[in-house]
Amino acid sequence: MDYSQFLYMSEELSLLAVIVIIFLADLFLCGKDEKGIACTTEGGECPACGCNFRTVFPVVLMLIHTVLNLLPCCGECCMGTAAFGGMYVHTPMMTIVKSVLNIGVIVVFLMASQWLNRPENRIKMGEFHSVVLFTLLGMYFMISSGHFIMFFIGLELASIPMTALVAYDKKQYESAEAGAKFILLALFSSALLLYGISLIYGVTGTLYLDEIGARLDVNLLSVLGLVLFISGMGFKISLVPFHLWTADTYQGAPTVVTGYLSVISKGSAAFVLMTVLMKVFGSAAFEGLWSVGFFWIIIVSITIANLFAIRQKNLKRFMAFSAISQAGYLILGIMGGTAQGMTSLVFYLFVYMAANLGAFAVLNVVEQNSGKIGMDDYDGLYQTNPKLAFLMTLCLFSLAGIPPFAGFFSKFFVFMAAFNAGYHLLVFIALVNTVISLYYYLLIVKAMYIKQSETPIPTFKSDCGTRAALTICIIGVVLLGIASVVYNYIDCFSYGLI
């Protein structure tokens, strides 16, 4: 065996090193009494800002890991490489997607600082960081898989630890219930997906993605395998009609975990879905089949999610239906399987990550300081916490696609990609739904700025981690749309069917 092949997996090995270091640091530096480095003030209490060695150290390690692997190299490396007989593949676009996910994880770690320093969570702080990074490692394997076995290993490595995150507050009934629902539906979706893969293997006799694409013909078994594969991935991305777990899981999971689940795992699954469709089902006959399916899935996902979001009073459930709607827009980039579609999908993921994590950072800090999560609780927030209300407004405007924020440009690019691929009616329906989404996003803005409350959320000071997370998100919301170099750079490494 040529062990030099492991050098092609530099990103995965770097992340694994981060996981090991965090695990050892948590093991040797933090005792059960939480003394010493874990808490820096007298009496064993953590500082009010929420920042200490245990919360800052993982962020620093992830920053180093991200900088080392941030941008794809130029020259021969841009041609892509393969290792272990083609089971592991690497392209510059995969490096870009992994870097986007890294930035999202850094933001999640920052916004989790205050929550992790609560007395009931302090002893479990190291486990949170480790489990999050294990899910990220699974997403890495999914993204770089050239073989269905590698893909499935990555999928399960990302899904099973996610259940532990959803049920992190195991003594809370809602969190335990959310974890149970998530694992049951995750197993069900994995079973559908694995059954679809087995049918594809039965037809072609191979599990290598490139070889399947060359051998696969349209017949009953291959079409059924395609349907089951899309169904399994639909659960991961929260597309209608595979979305029923989303609202309950988002509501029951800790707010930090909900933010992570709504962006990071969804984004990686959408990119992998497009990659598999292009490699395995990229022939003209198959493209016609899955394009028709996604045409209707996108319409019902955006429309039903928008209509249900209007009815929500719990903001975590509200953001759940918002995430289902955003997933529909994200999948628009898949239509046609073009290089332009891949560029728009990755750019949309980057912008959506900044806006959605920014909104969840506000929800989390308000919940940690007041215990309130309902929409009516936000009445008059501008009077008591004007900065948070303003930042929340910027994130919501980006999610709604209002210019000049980055969300407008990300929606424009996915619309343009779908339009150029010939899906004019689909783009029109998506545009109509964008108007509907603007209405329900403005409901929160109305509550914060116009409505008054007899018991408003009290004035409080955000912790350092939340302020840093919001700074990163707002920079992304404001600058990503203006800095066209980001979109152009991503476009240099895109690939598609045509």
Residues 241, 242, 248: CA angle, nearest 5 degrees: 110
User: Which residues of the chain are modeled with pLDDT < 70?
Assistant: 1-3, 29-53, 71-80, 497-498
Query: Which pair of structure tokens corresponds to residue 397?
Result: 């405007």
SS3 (DSSP) at 83: strand
Question: What pLDDT does residue 489 have?
Answer: 85
| Helical (H) or strand (E) element with 259 | helix 255-260
Count of residues making up the chain: 498
> Maximum distance among all alpha carbons in the chain?
71
**Half-sphere exposure (Cβ direction) of 154: Cα atoms closer than 13 Å:** 23
Question: What pLDDT does residue 37 have?
Answer: 43
Question: What pLDDT does residue 136 have?
Answer: 92
Smallest CA-to-CA distance from 257 within 172, 391, 132, 140 is with 132
Smallest CA-to-CA distance from 356 within 103, 51, 66, 186 is with 103
**Half-sphere exposure (Cβ direction) of 297: Cα atoms closer than 13 Å:** 29
Question: What pLDDT does residue 106 have?
Answer: 93
Rounded-to-integer distance, Cα 200 and Cα 204, Å? 6
Rounded-to-integer distance, Cα 418 and Cα 153, Å? 32
Question: What pLDDT does residue 115 have?
Answer: 86
Question: What pLDDT does residue 75 have?
Answer: 43
Question: What pLDDT does residue 38 have?
Answer: 42
Query: 69-122: per-residue pLDDT in tens?
Result: 776 654 444 556 777 788 888 888 888 899 999 999 999 999 988 888 887 777
Question: What pLDDT does residue 102 have?
Answer: 92
Rounded-to-integer distance, Cα 197 and Cα 312, Å? 37
